[in-house]
Amino acid sequence: MSADQDNQQDRQQTQIPDSSPEQESGADKSIRESVEDIFFQPRVLVVDDEQRIRDACQRMLSEEGFSVACTQNGEDGLDMLEQTHFDIILLDLMMTGLSGFDVLSRVKSLHPDTVVIVITGYATIEHSIEAMKKGAFDFLPKPFSPQDLRLVVRKAIEFIRTLQDIATEKSRMRVLINLLSDGVLTTDNQKNVALANPAFLRMIRSTKTNVQGNEAREVVSNSRLLEMIDEAMVQPADSFAEIADEITVDGEDESEATILGARCIPFRDRLQRKLGTVTVLNDITALKKLDQVKSDFVSMVAHEIKGPLNSILMLLNNVQSGVAGELNEKQSEILGRVADRIQSLTSLSSELLDLAKIESGLITQEKEELDLCEMLDNQVALYRDKASAKSIDLDMQQSGQSVPVMGNRTNLEELISNLISNAIRYTPEGGRVRVSAGIDGNYALLEVSDTGYGIPEEEQEHIFQRFYRVKNEKTRFISGTGLGLAIVKSIVDAHKGIIQVDSKPDTGTAFRIYLPTLQEGKA
Amino acid sequence: MSEKKLVMVVDDDPDLVEAVSMKLESKDFRVAKAYDGQEAMEKIQAEKPALVILDVMMPRKNGWVVCDEIKKDEGLKDISVVMLTAVGDAVPSTSYTHHDGKTTLADDYVPKPIDMGKLMEIVDDHLGS
């Protein structure tokens, strides 16, 4: 082979070591070195009863950098295979003694990793097809040119390399996944375990070590986790949603229970066929504990503030009401202002408490089947007086159907109450507040809209932040703590809902809250 | 009008006791004060008030216990007991949060923060003045 030919086949040259490394560029060299790391020197066994063929193959393949061994019959070939691993066998089909077909079958059953290329004496297509059926990788019809031989061997090398790449990738992936501190579980489309890393098994407190191929429900005892896998599997091909939840795994005693954040997604191929699921667990026990400590602290502080403030307010009210003697007009006015400020401080501490409670415990809070329409009706009734005091038309639009949701009653009441109270406070006299509940697809839709001052667009993204208040010349005198919508958002989040705001300054604001309907509301 | 009726106000917050007492006195009641459950029990035994306004969370002896002791004592059980309950806002680590009034023997319940007008109405109802 000429140097010209080599240069024309640069790509392949880098894959097969040859005897002229000094011609290589730096980049080629590094590729070549990494290839050699994986695939040092391919070993080829030539089994042919023709001396001429054996010699030709030996010479040519040696030049290409292969390590070559030859033998003239099948029995010896199989013996040599027992001694050493060969990557490629060039096998003559028509030999005296053991036939090439017999050798092929034996090689395929005993050394499946070895690639067999058959050499067919009379270029009969039937023989070639049969050999391929029995597991030959390719065939080389006699007579063949050095170029023919080189091409077919290079193809085989490419194939072996690809297999090795896959194997390397697989083992790298396995090492990586086993090293992760997050738990990983993959299941196939029959819900059998394809992979479960040690962290996963430890997190679900499984005592098993080798679970591959087991049914998922034999390995995982947590029913919610199994449900999540089921939910991921039944997702229609055109939708893709991550299923996330918190699960608690009980320990030996209560104090050892761990809380895990679990996320499960369906795993599909490019044609969207379901291949299985991937679940990732992370241990959030410490976070949850910290969160509880934080909430307890906030709760404690707020409580300690709220009590004294209420006492102060009561004392003050006594003075205001003349229990401690008559007041003049100026004194009354001053005390009125003081009382208002104290009142707003107590509201603040109440709302802080609410927020702390919501943030700490909603997930474990009891949920029940509730009718949004009925709850809305009740809350509207409570705000009727406040609305008419400002000549605001508070109107509940009846859809005539019940809107069932799974939720925590206290929280949802508070959510509705906050929205209606906001709407009334931020709507000027003579305005209108409309509330409604209905079904929208898989969601229950709760809507509270007003004809109020509205929220400037640049402020809309901030309104759910704690203590954020939209302040301008119109809203300056509206009292509030800036926690109302933060509470609303926390409640919506805890119910796995979505909140949207649609607002235009001086036109009005509409809050839309989507909560999963009861059918979908298991989560 | 006969002799002024005695109402006892029990809470560990002296300002709250003072505020309620002031209001009661303005409405022509006599007032006795106590600042924990133990002290309350002793004063109730000694002074036999007509009505006790009783906080729940207190040092030494909590309000539920005091209430039980009053209602199970032959000599005291006619005393009206109005519990001041901290609805829903108690510290999470304590067991007294919300009380629906079914398991204790109190005559009435007023949630904190106290609505003074409401409390006075309840006192009037029980003392029939």
State the distance between the two ends of chain A, measured CA to CA, in whole angstroms. 69
Say yes or no for a CB contact (<8 Å) between B22 and A318. Answer: yes
pLDDT at A185 over 90: yes
Gap from A465 CA to chain B (nearest CA, Å): 23
B22 touches chain A (CB under 8 A): yes
CB neighbour list of residue A351: distance below 8 Å, 6 or more residues apart: A481, A483, A484, A487
CATH number for domain A39-175, candidates 3.40.190.10, 3.40.50.2300, 1.10.8.50, 3.30.499.10: 3.40.50.2300
Instruction: Specify the higher pLDDT residue, B104 or A70.
Output: A70
For residue A185, how many other CB atoms are within 10 A of its CB? 28
**Of residues A172 and A241, which shows the higher confidence score?**
A172
Residue B69, number of CB atoms within 10 A of its CB: 16
pLDDT value at A452 more than 80: yes
Cβ contact A296–B89 (<8 Å): no
The pLDDT of residue A316 is above 80: yes
More confident residue, B96 or B120: B120
Q: What is the pLDDT of residue B39?
A: 93
| B88: pLDDT strictly greater than 70 | no
Residue A420 has a pLDDT of 92
**Confidence label for B24 from pLDDT (cuts 50, 70 and 90):** very high
DSSP B57-125: S-SSS-HHHHHHHHHT-TTTTTSEEEEEE--S-S-TTSS-S---SSSS--SEEEESSP-HHHHHHHHHH
pLDDT tens by residue, A60-75: 888 888 889 999 888 9
Q: What is the pLDDT of residues A347-389, one digit of tens each?
A: 888 777 777 766 665 444 567 788 888 888 888 888 888 888 8
pLDDT level of residue B3 (50, 70, 90 thresholds): confident
Indicate the average pLDDT of chain A.
Answer: 82
Topology of the domain comprising B6-127: Rossmann fold (3.40.50)
| Domain residue limits, chain B | 6-127
Residues of A in contact with B13 (CB under 8 A): 307-308, 311
Asked whether B82 and B124 are in contact (CB, 8 A), the reply is no
Please answer whether residues B58 and B83 qualify as being in contact, where contact means their C-beta atoms are separated by less than 8 angstroms. no
In words, the CATH class of domain A180-283 is: alpha beta
The tens digit of pLDDT for each residue in A252-306 reads 776 678 889 999 988 888 887 888 999 999 998 888 888 777 777 777 777 788 8
**In chain A, % of residues over pLDDT 70:** 87
Q: Is B68 in contact with B54 (CB distance < 8 Å)?
A: no
The whole-number average pLDDT for the span B74-91 is: 74
Domains A39-175 and A180-283 share a fold: no
For helices B14-26 and B116-127, angle between their N-to-C axes, nearest 10 degrees = 60
In which band, very low, low, confident or very high, does the pLDDT at A246 lie, cut at 50, 70 and 90?
A: confident
**Distance between CA atoms of residues A282 and A200, nearest Å:** 9
Top-confidence residue, A215 or B86? A215
Task: Check residue B17 and give its pLDDT.
Answer: 94
pLDDT band (50, 70, 90) for residue A122: low
Q: Which residues of A touch B (CB under 8 A)?
A: 295-296, 299-300, 303, 306-308, 310-315, 317-318, 323-324, 346, 350, 353, 357, 360-361, 410
For residues A45-61, average pLDDT: 90
Q: According to the model, what pLDDT value does residue B20 have?
A: 94
- What pLDDT is recorded for position A366? 64
On the question of pLDDT at A11 being above 60, the answer is no
Average pLDDT rounded to a whole number, residues A512-522 = 69
Strands A115-120 and A88-92: parallel
Q: Say what the pLDDT of residue B100 is.
A: 42
- Token duo for residue A166: 């896959």
Q: Domain limits of chain A?
A: 39-175, 180-283, 289-364
ipTM value for the complex: 0.78
Say if the Cβ atoms of B92 and A357 lie within 8 Å: yes
- Ranges of H-type helices in A405-494: 409-425, 457-460, 484-494
Q: Do A310 and B113 touch (CB under 8 A)?
A: yes
Q: How far apart are CA A422 and CA A470, in angstroms?
A: 12
pLDDT tier for residue B103 given thresholds of 50, 70 and 90: low
Tell me which residue has tokens 């140097």: A3
Residue of B nearest to A295 (CA): B92
Closest Cα to residue A64, out of A47, A83, A81, A42?
Answer: A42
ω into B14 cis (within 30 of 0): no
